[in-house]
Structure 1
Amino acid sequence: MAHDAAKLAVLIDADNAQPSLAEGLLAEVAKYGTAHVKRAYGDWTSPQLRGWKDQLLTQSIQPIQQFGYTSGKNATDSAMIIDAMDLLYTNRFDGFCIVSSDSDFTRLAGRIRESGLFVYGFGERKTPTPFVAACDKFIYTDVLASSASTETEAAPKQRSSKELRGDTRLVNLLRNAIEATSDDDTGWAQLSRVGQNINKQSPEFDSRNYGYAKLSGLIGAIGLFDAEERQVGNGKHIYVRSHARK
């Protein structure tokens, strides 16, 4: 199914996310489909969530009230999980966007994927690995555009060619993905397929984590791969291969 046709449910743990991320978050969600449901969960009587008010109105996000009934228990997480399962059983959605850095949503992400739906996770760098791995794709919130960056993590700085080449995991990830999706004779692989293969191996992979807006820019900066643009049908596509295949 085309991304622009995908029906998505966006569920935000407001206790665990900065309101300044809302605009950039929904802009990112729009890359993967249409947000048919946008809900933010939290105790809206708490002064800690006061900053969310303008974003709820501007972005048309529905606030879901959840009182903290017992100290030490996260009622917000429970409410999100219950609503997510209710929405899942309607069979109206193609995917879910879970916005939180909390590991409590690990099983939820896995359960949604078991039903054949796509799961996009959004959270800070501190997000536990199990939750990241449970998603089809995980986007760190520091790469999202923000109108109030002072409230969020600093955006990743652009790494130099030397730094990128020294990242053995990154280089091997790219090489393996190119090898897996390339033409057996020439070694050339369509960049879009390379990106899809990488995300299957590493849900948190994002060229923006290295300071590059697009995968093509990251691959070009490393300097270990060839790239060329080709006309295919009515569109242009980028193909890449390792230097070693020359």
Structure 2
Amino acid sequence: MTYPATAPTLKLAVLIDADNAQASIVQELLAEIAKYGTTNVKRAYGDWTTTNLKGWKEVLHTQAIQPIQQFAYTSGKNATDSALIIDAMDLLHMGDMGGFCIVSSDSDYTRLATRLRESGLTVFGFGEQKTPAPFVAACDKFVFTEILRPLVVASDPKAQKIQESKAIESRLSTNLPPLEELLRGAVDAKAGEDGWAPLASVGSFILTNHSSFDARYYGCKKLGELVRRQPYLEVKEAPVGAGQVLHIFIRAL
């Protein structure tokens, strides 16, 4: 699923709360972000004078991420949040960005995400499954970073079943409604008089109501693969437009 439709031209600012993000998946993280647009700004915030961010220090230069120094002036207070928020607002008022990627599992960025969206910008959130629901809901799209870790493709049916079971467990921990309820509701909302709904419209409807939805939670790479696996859905391809490009349509049985 691609979001939004003009993702390749969307100029993005990637702001990383290094205190609340894992450096071990930074390569996969940036590859995921590349699906949504072009990264113009990459910054990581934290107190780089400490040893706590050693993992991040090792990837900053290789991934061309600019470290932003923020001293912890008071014990127990997170100054990184304030520095990231101030920079985000500066970038917003410069008017050069089309969207923001906030990398953190901290709910303190909930209001920031809401403010950026109020200004008409797209907000992508990236954090662990422990991320509080308000921050997840405040983003246009939220990706739980656990699914960015590369999986070894199972070589036998038994191992494949175990892998699919883990995918379902991952979905359950995201607090999404049952899959059939999600898909049937979206198809019903976007279907025409003939009962068929465009796949792209179905995906957009689900994301609008559940920003953390992702086909990968169910063991599928794409939404099209996911809907084809559901026995209660009928899927067809039909030409659309002057170019007769094939589009996928779905109908509930």
* TM-score, normalised with respect to structure 2: 0.86
Alpha carbons of 1:168 and 1:81: their partners in 2 closer, same or farther (altered >3 Å)? closer
What does residue 183 of structure 1 align with?
A: 192
Pick the aligned partner of 1:238 from 233, 240, 248. Answer: 248
Distance change (3 Å), C-alpha of 1:133 and 1:145: same
**Distance (whole Å) between structure 2 residues aligned to residue 156 and residue 29 of structure 1:** 27
User: CA RMSD, aligned part only?
Assistant: 2.2
Decide which moves more: 50-59 or 77-86.
50-59
CA distance in 2, matches of 1:146, 1:212: 13
Q: Is the 8 A contact 1:143 1:155 kept in 2?
A: no
CA distance in 2, matches of 1:125, 1:176: 24
Q: Which residue of 2 aligns with 1:172?
A: 181
* Percent of residue pairs bearing the same amino acid type: 57
Q: Which moved more, 1:50-59 or 1:99-108?
A: 50-59
Partner of 1:150: none
Aligned residues: 231
Is the CA contact 2:137–2:210 (under 8 Å) kept in the aligned structure 1? Answer: yes
The corresponding residue for 1:119 is 123
- Contact kept, 8 Å, 2:164 with 2:218, in 1: the verdict is no
Which string of whole-angstrom CA distances, capped at 9 and with x for unpartnered residues, describes residues 28-63 of structure 1? 111111010000011111112111123211111111
Alignment of 1:2-151 (within 5 A): 2-145=6-149
Go from structure 1 to structure 2 and tell me whether the alpha carbon gap of 1:155 and 1:61 turns closer, same or farther (over 3 Å shift): farther
* Distance change >3 Å, CA 6–CA 156, structure 1 → 2: farther
Preserved contact between residue 168 and residue 217 of structure 2 (Cα < 8 Å): no
The Cα offsets for residues 124-154 of structure 1, whole Å up to 9 and x where unpaired, read as: 000000001111111100111459xxxxxx9
Q: After the TM superposition, which segments of 4 or more aligned residues of structure 1 sit over 3 Å from their partners?
A: none
CA shift digits 1:74-108 (9 cap, x unpaired) = 00111000100010000111110000000000000
CA change 1:14–1:116 in 2 (3 A) is same
Judge conservation of contact 1:121–1:139 (CA < 8 Å) in 2: yes
Q: Which runs of 5+ in 2 are unaligned?
A: 152-162
* Cα shift readout 1:166-220 (whole Å, capped 9, x = no counterpart): x963212211111111111x21111111100110011111111222111122222
Cα 1:235–1:139 shift into 2, 3 Å: same
